[in-house]
Structure 1
Amino acid sequence: MSYTEATLQLLSPEGSLVENDATAPYLPRVAAISDAQLRDFHRQMVVIRRFDIEAGNLQRQGQLALWIPSVGQEAAQVGSGYAARPQDHIFPAYREHVVGRIRGLDPMRIIELLRGLSHGGWDPAKTGNFHLYTLVIGSQSLHATGMAMGMTLDGSTATGHPETDAAVLAYFGDGASSQGDVSEAMVFSASFQAPIVFFLQNNHWAISVPVQRQSRTPLYLRGTGFGIPSVQIDGNDVLASYLVTAENLEAARAGQGPRFIEALTYRMGAHTSSDDPTKYRDSEEMTFWAQRDPIARFETFLRAKGEGDAFFAEVASEAEDLAADVRARTQSLGSPPADKIFSHVYSDPHPLMEEQRAWMAAYEASLEEARE
């Protein structure tokens, strides 16, 4: 499954603006994006890809238990991530590394999570309402829907004050779209007109299952079946991702109910570091999507606007600095104290946890005595 006639694309694979009836309403908004914002789009995509590659290398060297790459999906994530306002809540799956970074998350929290050093990774209240990664496929769509329904009930949306109105942005993949949780989330969102935007990153593979086997029709049509206005965009086009997500979040904040975006992109690497994609993907497909690389496309666009070598060299240097910093900090990580496992199981102190903590301490002390 690739681009269709319904796919909204503002920036062609060759890096030029697409001008037609479908893009006409968006082109003035493209022109209104500041040069600083455009540079940030590119910077975030380049830096996170370098981080991603470094993290994959660290996993291969035994520093991480697992790594979940996002190479190839940077435009879908950067554009949509920047479209959200500070008051919005974001529910990721487990591959949205750059969205977290945009919201203020230190990438080391992801490293620590996948090294097995933390329960959940971070506090959403301290990371721009960027909620925790969810490895139970599709379940975050229900969490996001519950948050959106709660926001409606407590009056934090559609108040007529755009600077404070809030919405929810929920990410999931093409594989998750076949899960019952996602269908239930759309049922409740549509029924209660919850202020949520479902952002489906269709990277074409649910581990080794191709998207064609999951759906006979484009996935964005699943949203329409629940009465949710839905659109399909070129997910390797950061401009389309940014403007379409911003437009749909504005509608959700204004009380117009849920929205559904399918971003056509491609997972250039493995599903996770435990996967071997050469067993189920052919080189022709890889070549097709490599020619539509979101970073190369956007660099061409920026150079045509006048950005020179100095800017791109600066970004490349920043990416290398982050990679080196992450490597150094990862290698210096120690093991957490054994009793950390009992912390935060309950929101308040709990006698069962204290009992288990005491048992663990006594057991460890007995081992020390046996060694002596």
Structure 2
Amino acid sequence: MTSNGQTSEAEPAGKAGLAAPGRGRVTLQIIADHLSVSTATVSLALRGSPLVADATRLRVQQIAREMGYSYNRSAASLRTDRTNILGVGFHDITNPYFAELLAAIEETATAHGRSILLGTYAENLERQDRVLNTLKEYRPDGMVICAAGGSTAETFGHLIAAGVPLVQLSREIPGLDLDFVGSDDHHGTVLALEHLIGLGHRRIAFLGENELISTGRNRYRGYCETLARHGIPLDPALVYASIGTRENGLKGIQKVLDAEIPPTAAVCFNDLIAFGAMLGLRHRGLEAGVDFSLVGCDDVQEAAQWYPALTTLKNFQDEMGRKSAELLIRRIEDPTAATQRIVLTPELIVRGTTTPPKR
């Protein structure tokens, strides 16, 4: 070490006496020269190719690590016009439903040699526009999008004009001829209502009505149509409009319980609202599955862990996330293919929060 704190030329720097160039300066040629092999051999070895002898491959990989070699993805994307990045735009990642979707997307992308780049924007159209523009600047090969409430076909016009392959997930925008993966939300609510009506309930609330998103419209339509089919009048006092959060579930259940003729059961837009509603019932000295019946939607992992465990609709988000990533990868490979709609059929999971009404 010299008096000014710098390493002298005679003193080896880095592990095993290797030079330690600045970040990003180690190239295939530097590694090849150090090992007296060709750059092609280094490239194949770093990719784990069986064309390179095991001993050589391990030695190349070891030296690359010690020298701090990092794959230049930007340079590779310029050569291939592909970044191997899939953009993911979600309005919410705090909801475990979307976290489960994201995990499935990432696992599938990784299995296909892709990475994901995530952007979130809440239910805010201006923020969504900024986030999607930022994602676009990173030149992803395509994007999976769950749109913010109130989005229209024009919202994604800039992405379509730029030729970015898109797959809609969970929420579907009217007027867009894009690939879509989601759940049959109308059918799911019908299953929930039929279950509650079969138990004897006639005063059934709906918590989380939201006309700004396709899932909200379809679930509420299933609610209204099923009531009508059974000759049960729709009472606006039993409908609570909100986005799907625990807080709104707590507020919503207390509001509908204040109706002149209170409900004995409720269908919730999602599991988060149901969790909040369970707490709201306890604020009134009531218990789900004993004094009141609740059905959620999504069957997130937490649903089976509550006490009592939540009766809910299983939407198969693992499969939804996987299929959305696979569909996007196919769209990237064949941009001219006909668009596809993959709609999964939900399943009612009966647990401990539904029971016949008290007489």
Q: Give me the TM-score of the superposition, normalised by structure 2.
A: 0.26
Q: Give me the TM-score of the superposition, normalised by structure 1.
A: 0.26
Bigger Rg over Cα: 2
| Greater strand share, structure number | 2
| Greater helix share, structure number | 1
Q: Quick one: higher RCO (CA 8 Å, sep 6+), 1 or 2?
A: 1
